[in-house]
Structure 1
């Protein structure tokens, strides 16, 4: 059976969180931020989703041990981040910082209401509302939680084709592991520090990954198959542009044309161009491939510009011994 990225532990957990009902009973846990519902579209639904899943974590009949509950809370925080990113994709003017700020306020309110034993479960471990920082930590945290499954499937099951490009993208980020995850006074948290040694580059050395690498050199890989993960995760990676990105091509070409015309103008209409033409001309003279009259005309024009600018009093040229 073909393995999928969406089957890995972190991604399947986010898929479970996406099944929330956002029903009325959980609205009471969002009272603390009710005043911003109309200001920030979609924040009420995200808040109700948080409340529903956090309520489940704290339920008396939840038999998971505390470590699993803490892990679920981390996933839940990153799920919250992902929901805001989805809103931002639909509306470029979305103020990510303020969405996360208000949702964190709601999170703390929910914990006070639900946590009867005042435990460390769902306690925010650090505060950060920076989109890029959270995104990078999420990517590495997901990878670390997925590592055991990745290792087993790649080395024992020869399933690297499902993970190859994911690992290639994560590898670049993993090289900056310490920088990304030094959140506690410059220290990496205990629960993730060992993952610094679990390098994607080591997994990519597996024979099944080497086969994918060889395939990629000779055959165009079906990207829709390789990138087979849940919708909404693609923002974590830089995919090849779709047809909707045609404007990006235009924006890339325009600067190149600008540079071309700048150098053309420089060559045709400035003293620098005259000097360059003179140098090219002299090269042709050596080859005996230019008419004497043309030499005299062009050389004299070049000499005028050259003498004018070489002896300009604004030029300060010095020598050092």
Structure 2
């Protein structure tokens, strides 16, 4: 049975606003737009959420927990897209490595963000549950 994504992750679904702020971070995934419609919008949300993570989850004081919620959110979001809209699964690693590249650009340009997109730990296309337990 699939577990619900933590309620803290709901805050990540807010729209990103002005795409110009995030466009340079998402250049590396633009080539995927023909195969995965809407991937730029997901990338803009990813970039916005990572940049403003400390504000979006300000009630969560533990930065490691913020990062975990962020990772749960993007993993769940991509998995849902792959199940419903993105039917071509040949480039899953390109999607994930693209978001990893976005994360690296953001981390290099901001000094207050040390959250890591841990797709190797959290993403498995066949896994139905999420490793919410801290010991996982």
TM-score, length basis structure 1: 0.34
1:210-241 deviation digits (Å, cap 9, x = unpaired): xxxxxxxxxxxxxxxxxxxxxxxxxxxxxxxx
| Paired residues of 1:30 and 1:48 also in contact (CA < 8 A) | yes
2:12 to 17, 22, 31: 17
**d(CA) in 1 for partners of 2:81, 2:71:** 16
1:99-150 deviation digits (Å, cap 9, x = unpaired): 2232222222222222x26x6x3124573553234x43x2x40xx4xxxxxx
* Structure 1 residue runs of 4 or more that deviate by more than 3 Å after TM superposition: 62-65
User: Is 1:87 the equivalent of 2:81?
Assistant: yes
| Paired residues of 1:22 and 1:49 also in contact (CA < 8 A) | no
> Relative contact order (C-alpha < 8 Å, sep 6+): which is higher?
2
Which residue does 1:98 correspond to in 2? 94
**d(CA) in 1 for partners of 2:88, 2:75:** 13
**d(CA) in 2 for partners of 1:17, 1:125:** 17
| Paired residues of 1:20 and 1:53 also in contact (CA < 8 A) | no
User: Is 1:46 the equivalent of 2:39?
Assistant: no
Unaligned runs of 5+ in 1: 145-191, 197-321
Report deviation, 1:91. 3.4
Which residue does 1:131 correspond to in 2? 125
RMSD: 3.2
Report deviation, 1:88. 1.9
Unaligned runs of 5+ in 2: none
**d(CA) in 1 for partners of 2:22, 2:109:** 12
1:156-175 deviation digits (Å, cap 9, x = unpaired): xxxxxxxxxxxxxxxxxxxx
Q: How many residues align?
A: 129
Structure 1 pair 127/11, CA: closer, same or farther in 2 (3 Å)?
Answer: closer
- The structure that is helix-richer by fraction is 1
Report deviation, 1:47. 0.9
Report deviation, 1:90. 2.1
**d(CA) in 1 for partners of 2:58, 2:85:** 40
Within 5 Å, give how 1:126-165 maps onto structure 2: 127-128=120-121, 129-133=123-127, 135-136=128-129, 138=130, 140-141=131-132, 144=133
Query: Rg: which structure is higher?
Result: 1
TM-score, length basis structure 2: 0.70
